[in-house]
Amino acid sequence: MSAVYHLPEPGGSEFEPTSAEWLARDEAALAGVLPRITDVVAVRGMGSWLWDADGRRYLDFGSGIAVTNTGHCHPKVVAAITAQAETLIHTSVVAHPTGMIRLAERLAGLVPFMADPQVFFCNSGAEAVDGSLKLARRATGKPGVIAFRRAFHGRTLAATSLTTAKGKYREGYEPLLPSVTIAPYGDLDGLDELLTLQAPGVNIGAMIVEPVLGEGGYVVPPLSWLAGLRERCDRHGMLLIFDEVQTGVGRTGRPFAAETFGVAPDVVLFAKGIASGLPLGGIIASRDLMDRWPTGAHGSTFGGNPVSCAAALATLDVLEEEGCYERARRLGSRAVERLGAVPGPVDVRGVGLMIGVELRDKTVAEAVQARCLDDGLIVLLCGPGENVLRLIPPLTITDADFEHGLDIIVAAIAATV
C-alpha cells in the first residue's frame, strides 16, 4: 500500500526569507562547530524529496544520515506523532508510559537471534554506545574494550574513544577512555595477535563492531570475520556488541544486520532510523545479561519518551506494510549492478540500501557530489579519504525515483571521472 501525502506548499515567497538570507542568519546564530554537508536550507520534506527555501526540490539519497528510512513525513508516522502528542508527551522515569513497553515488545520480535531480549531506551546512537560500555563493565567486571579501525561510534567522549574513522574526530580530545584497543577491521589474524600480545581476553569485557563499516567507507566485511568475532568472544568471555545505529531498522534488508549476516551478537545498539527522525536510541540484550545491570545503574530523562516511541511503532509498521525490507534488498542489488557496470568507480559495494561507490580520490568524489546536487540529488560521502559516495535513500523510495537518482549519479560520474 503506498502512502498518501499532503502536497507541499511551494517553498520561498516574497514574504519568506530566501536561502541566502537564511544562510547568513545561520552563520551568525549557530556555533560553527556543527558541520553541514550542503547549503540546502530545508523547509519541507515529503517522501524521498526535500524542498529548499527558494522552492527548489531535491531527491534525498542521504535520508538525514540514514534516519528517514520511511521517507520524510510519512503520513502514518506523522499521524502517530500527532495523536501521541495530543495524549501524553513525557513522564520520564516517574511513570511507565505504555508506548515504551509496546515498542520494547515489538523490538524483541525483531531479534530472532537473541534469547529473551530486553530493551533499554535512550536518545541517540552515541548514548546507546556509552550505555553498552557501562553494561559490559557491570556484566563482565572487565573494563577493556576492543573496537575496530575506521569505526565511527559517535561524539561523546566514550564513543569518541572507540572512533577511528577520521583523525579529526579525536583531534584535541585526548586523553580519551583508557583500556580501548583498536583492532584491524576484517582481519582475524590481526585481532588474534592483539589478543595475544596486547589485549588479553581476561582484561577485555567487550568487542564493539559495526557489522558494515559506515562513516569508515561502507565496507562490507567477510561473513567469516563476523563469525570469527563471535567465536573469539565466546572463547574469552567477552560480549559481542553490534553497533547497528546505522545498519539497523531495515537498512541492510532485514530489521537488523545480525540477521542479514546470520551472526548473533550479545548486544544490539540502535538509533537513527528507528523513529523516522525523532530522537530515540537503545540497547537490546538478553534478560540474562540485563539482569546483571542493577536497577539505577543507568538511566535517562528523555529516553523512550512516548512521542518518539509512537513514531517508532509507526515506523516499524510502515517498514513491514510497505515491504521495505525486501525493497532494500532488491533496490540495493539493482544499484550495485547498475553502478558496477559504469566506467570510473574503483569499487561499488554494499548490502541492502547501504551502497558505497568508491571513486579515485576526494577531489573526484566532491566533484561528483556537487554535480549531483546541481542536478537535484543529495548524496553524501564517507571513508577516511572522503572518496566514497554513500547512497542511503529512504527504504520507501519508489522504483522510479530510485532510477532517477541513479541516472543523475551515472551522468555525474561520466562527466567527472
Residues tagged active-site? 152, 243, 272
Shortest gap between Cβ of 129 and ligand PLP (angstroms)? 6
Q: Grid coordinates representing 297?
A: 545503574
SS3 201: helix
Site string for ligand PLP, 183-222 (x = CB under 6 A): ---------------------------x---xx-------
Q: Across the beta sheet with 117-122, what order do the strands follow?
A: 117-122, 281-286, 267-270, 239-243, 204-209, 144-148, 180-183
Determine if 126 is a binding residue for ligand PLP (CB under 6 A): yes
Within 10 angstroms of residue 193's Cβ, the number of other Cβ atoms is 14
Stretch that binds ligand PLP, among 2-10, 118-126, 320-328, 405-413 (CB under 6 A): 118-126
Binding window for ligand PLP (CB under 6 A); candidates: 74-82, 148-156, 232-240, 258-266: 148-156
Q: Interface with ligand PLP includes 80 (CB under 6 A)?
A: no
- Pair type for strands 42-46 and 377-378: unpaired
With 0-12 CB in 10 A as exposed, 13-18 as middle and 19+ as buried, what is 398? middle
- Residue matched to cell numbers 566514550: 158
Of 140, 137, 211, 215, which Cα lies nearest the Cα of 178? 137
Task: For residue 317, give the C-alpha cell.
Answer: 509498521
What's the min distance (Å) between Cβ of 212 and ligand PLP? 9
Residue whose CB is nearest to ligand PLP in the complex, by number: 125
Q: Which is nearer to ligand PLP, 18 or 38 (CB)?
A: 38
Residue pair 93/295 in contact by the 8 Å Cβ criterion: no
Q: Pick from 104, 146, 204, 245: which binds ligand PLP (CB under 6 A)?
A: 245
Stretch that binds ligand PLP, among 98-106, 149-157, 174-182, 407-415 (CB under 6 A): 149-157
The C-alpha atoms of residue 194 and residue 330 are separated, in whole angstroms, by 39
Among 48-56, 122-130, 311-319, 335-343, the segment contacting ligand PLP (CB under 6 A): 122-130
Indicate whether 68 belongs to the interface with ligand PLP (CB under 6 A).
no
Q: Does 277 bind ligand PLP (CB under 6 A)?
A: no
Distances (CA, A) of 356 to 133, 161, 396: 29, 25, 19
246 makes contact with ligand PLP (CB under 6 A): yes
User: Based on CB atoms, which residue is closest to ligand PLP, 65 or 177?
Assistant: 65
Contact between 332 and 351 under an 8 Å Cβ cutoff? The reply is yes
Contacts with ligand PLP by CB under 6 A lie at 65, 124-126, 129, 152-154, 210, 214-215, 243, 245-246, 271
